[in-house]
Amino acid sequence: MKAQLECIPCMMSQALRAAKAATNDKKLIREVLNRIGEEVKNIHLEKSTPPEAAIPVYQIVTDVTGVEDPYKNTKREHIKEALALYPLMMKKVEQSKNPLKKTVKIAIAGNAIDLGSRLDKIDITKEFERIENSLFYLDEFDAFEERIEKEKEILYLADNAGETVFDRPLIELLAKRNKKIYYAVKEKPIINDATRLDAELSGIKEEIISTGSSVAGTILDYCSKEFVNFFAKATFIIAKGQGNYESLSNKKAPIFFLFKAKCKPIAKETGFKIGTMLLMKSKYFK
């Protein structure tokens, strides 16, 4: 999808949040905001997806503060907190009538852990408790279930650190059913997106691959040639998070998007209210 006017104030908020995570020096934080302000006129909304439009934000934060990974400590905390919930997740799956559906719900619920779109501190435990009462829209779950049964290999595009733990029940269930999972993470830290280390710390035992990219979402122009080839050959892709939807919704690829709708432009694009937990089949998945 294309970036929208709403993405511009959002970028300013993201910049402030990331700058505050990177440093306590108010002058530096202010310098970040000034630089983002000057950058506004250079953003071509109509030529970019939202994650593309936001690339300068995180580059400016790093340039000004000298901090490559502002959310490093927060990511570790999120992983730790999510790991503490893992036994409870598995218990819920075991007790469920439809374990696959339950793992999908848990995976989507994990998408609440997103520092790009959030202003406040995230209480992961609380978020998890809310799962049962959340507004899920899994209208295409039957298609998902039917199709996945036939597949042997699944490319799983990870999103945020901590959310990675919430992906485990689903990928472990798929692995038990003899699917080969490729769990794709970012090459370098960007926002709180998962890297190889984050995936490993989260206890992911499936094969971890790198997209070769260090920008948010999965912007193929910024991925490694190796990953782009791999992506092109994939027959079943699970893409986690709004950023992956934003960057891949117009790509001809066999994707099921699993995410929580988090802002006005995405609500308008998908037709679902902010806060809805979605499983959406790409229009290009035949």
Task: Provide the token pair at 99.
Answer: 């374990």
Q: How far is the CB of 277 from a copy of itself (least distance, A)?
A: 20
30/283 with CB nearer a copy of itself: 30
Q: How far is the CB of 261 from a copy of itself (least distance, A)?
A: 15
Phi, psi angles (nearest 5°) of residue 264: -60, -50
Task: Provide the token pair at 38.
Answer: 């000057």
Q: How far is the CB of 29 from a copy of itself (least distance, A)?
A: 6
120/221 with CB nearer a copy of itself: 120
Give the binding site for a copy of itself (CB under 8 A).
5-6, 8-9, 12-13, 15-16, 20, 26, 29-30, 33-34, 36-41, 45, 119, 264
Please say whether the beta carbons of 78 and 122 come within 8 A: yes
Task: Provide the token pair at 128.
Answer: 């998890």
Pick the closest to residue 159 from 148, 167, 170 (CA basis).
Answer: 167
Q: How far is the CB of 198 from a copy of itself (least distance, A)?
A: 27
Alpha-carbon distance 125 to 76, whole Å?
Answer: 15
29/239 with CB nearer a copy of itself: 29
Q: How far is the CB of 12 from a copy of itself (least distance, A)?
A: 4
* 39 Cβ contact partners less than 8 Å away, ≥ 6 residues apart: 56, 60
Concatenated DSSP letters for 80-145?
HHHHHHHHHHHHHHHT-SSHHHHHHHHHHHGGG--TTT--S---HHHHHHTGGGS-EE-TTHHHHH
40/143 with CB nearer a copy of itself: 40
Q: How far is the CB of 37 from a copy of itself (least distance, A)?
A: 3
44/91 with CB nearer a copy of itself: 44
Phi, psi angles (nearest 5°) of residue 189: -60, 135
37/66 with CB nearer a copy of itself: 37
